Amino acid sequence: MKKKPTPQESNDFEDAFIREIDEDLKNEKLKRLWDKYGLFIILFVTLSVFTAVSFESIKAWKDKKNQEISDTFAYALQLQNQGKFDDAHKVLSSLIEKDNSIYADIAQMQSANIYLQQNKTDDAIKVLENIAKQENFNPQMKDVALLKLASFKLENAPAEEIRTMLQPLVSQQNAFANNAKEILAMLAIREKDLTLAKSLYQEISISPQASETMRNRALNMLNIL
């Protein structure tokens, strides 16, 4: 006589049957999804892999390129330290021509520094004037170039030319605003406008952005004036 299943066994059987039906339905859904979207899934996976590989390849290429540029710049500095100024200029010029990153901007600034070390002020001024005209030049480095250019021209250049050069630094109240004011104060002394000079030195002396050395220098000038 066949044994009648217990309630528990019946429940287990029903659960197993339901699970089997669920699996069949899931498989059928997956099959329909694959039939409908299989090509897109393949393309997506392929594109994802290609993108990842491309990104790593580009990153490796950029890292290698940056290392080469850095080595080239270091070689130029080495030549400068050895007193081989013409060779240093050639290396820096090649870097400026071939590269459009911040290294090219640094190379231009360094070229001006080498000219100054050679006491070729006119050549240094030409480089700095060229930097001042470049719209895409690194902003902070361009400000430094303007300050250097203004200081070199302070003795003989027209006052309006120097004011026009430095006014953006003063009006923007950037990190070099007090340096620009100090040069403008010296310009005011040159132009015998002591009232303006005192006003500029007073601003520097109380500026929280000015270094202690700069504030003391401004106070000393105020005492002299």
Instruction: Compute the residue count for the chain.
Output: 225
Considering the chain, what is the average pLDDT of its residues? 75
Is 222 in contact with 197 (CB distance < 8 Å)?
Answer: no
CA dihedral 178, 179, 181, 183 (to 10 degrees): 170
pLDDT in tens, 67-104: 677 777 788 888 888 888 899 889 888 888 876 677 78
Q: Is the pLDDT of residue 39 over 60?
A: no
Q: Is the pLDDT of residue 21 over 80?
A: no
Task: List b or e across 21-58, with b for residues whose CB sees 16 or more CB atoms inside 10 angstroms.
Answer: eeeeeeeeeeeeeeeeeeeeeeeeeeeeeeeeeeeeee
Is 168 in contact with 155 (CB distance < 8 Å)?
Answer: no
Tokens 């040159």, located at residue: 190
Q: Long-range CB contacts (< 8 A, 24+ apart) of 92-100?
A: 95/69, 99/69
What CA–CA distance (Å, rounded) separates 209 from 177? Answer: 9
What CA–CA distance (Å, rounded) separates 187 from 9? Answer: 103
Q: Which helix (H) or strand (E) holds 149?
A: helix 139-153
Q: Can you list the positions of beta strands (E) in 132-190? A: none
Is 183 in contact with 194 (CB distance < 8 Å)?
Answer: no
pLDDT in tens, 105-155: 888 888 888 888 888 888 988 988 898 888 888 888 888 888 888 888 888
61-75, 104-118, 181-195, 203-217: which range is least confident on average?
Answer: 61-75
- Residue 126's pLDDT is 92
